[in-house]
Structure 1
Amino acid sequence: MLTPLTVTVGVAALLLAAWCGYAALRDQPVKDWHYIGVAVVLLLTLVQAGIAVAQLAGDERPAGGGTALFVSYLVAVPLCLPVVAVVALGERSRWGSVTVAAGAVVVAALELRLADLWAGGTGG
């Protein structure tokens, strides 16, 4: 897996979380600009998933042999942000911003786990 892309996705997710967290502190709902940020992070996660699938289709595998667990995390990462974006659409208050910020933090945490699984960590 490409470490620079993993770091980029994690940092972008944390920046999105900070941006939406700041909006929540200012008692603002999620705005169109925030959804563009969600789309950018989502696009990065889809690129990462595509590269990881291409590597798995070749002969590269996670070092610890946990391919099924790695793939489950790989599927969960791109699904996280669309779910919180839909919830935020329904919650047009500061709590919508909190929801997107929390989802972005989850994406960053999942990125750490993906990198750990690829390197052979068991997380036990």
Structure 2
Amino acid sequence: MFDPLTIAVAVAALGIAAWCGYAAFKDQPTKDWHLIGMAVVSLAALVQMVIGIVRLAQGEDPHDTTTVFVAYLVGAACTLPAAGFMSLSERTRWGSATAAAGGVILAVLQVRLYDIWVGAGA
């Protein structure tokens, strides 16, 4: 994989989680700026998915199975859009909390993607 992008997506996802978590703490729903930030991070996760698939097509293999790796790539790319749509359906503080949870989940998925690619952990 491309480690700097994985780190950047994880850090940005935690930033979104903190930002949306603060909005939930302040009893505010997600705003347009939150959704724009989530879209930018989602775009980075989408770029990561494309890079991962290209690396697989070039013959590189993850330490774990390819199917698991691709499933995590797709899941990571879909996490924040799903959380964003869910936060739009709940226009209260809980929508912001949902978006914050999506950011945390994306960060955890980044760690797991790294583990699958290099074989760290088990």
State if a TM-score over 0.5 links the two structures: yes
In structure 2, the partner of 1:92 is: 91
Q: CA deviation at 1:120?
A: 1.7
In structure 2, the partner of 1:105 is: 104
Runs of 5+ consecutive residues of structure 1 not aligned to the other structure: none
**1:47 matches 2:47:** yes
Q: CA deviation at 1:59?
A: 1.4
Q: CA deviation at 1:121?
A: 3.7
Relative to the length of structure 1, the TM-score reads 0.95
RMSD: 1.0
In structure 2, the partner of 1:59 is: 59
Count residues with an aligned counterpart.
122
Runs of 5+ consecutive residues of structure 2 not aligned to the other structure: none
State percent identity of aligned pairs.
53
For 1:108, give the aligned amino acid.
Answer: A
* Whole-angstrom CA distance in 2 between matches of 1:120 and 1:71: 15
Relative to the length of structure 2, the TM-score reads 0.96
Alignment of 1:11-90 (within 5 A): 11-62=11-62, 64-90=63-89
* Whole-angstrom CA distance in 2 between matches of 1:108 and 1:65: 19
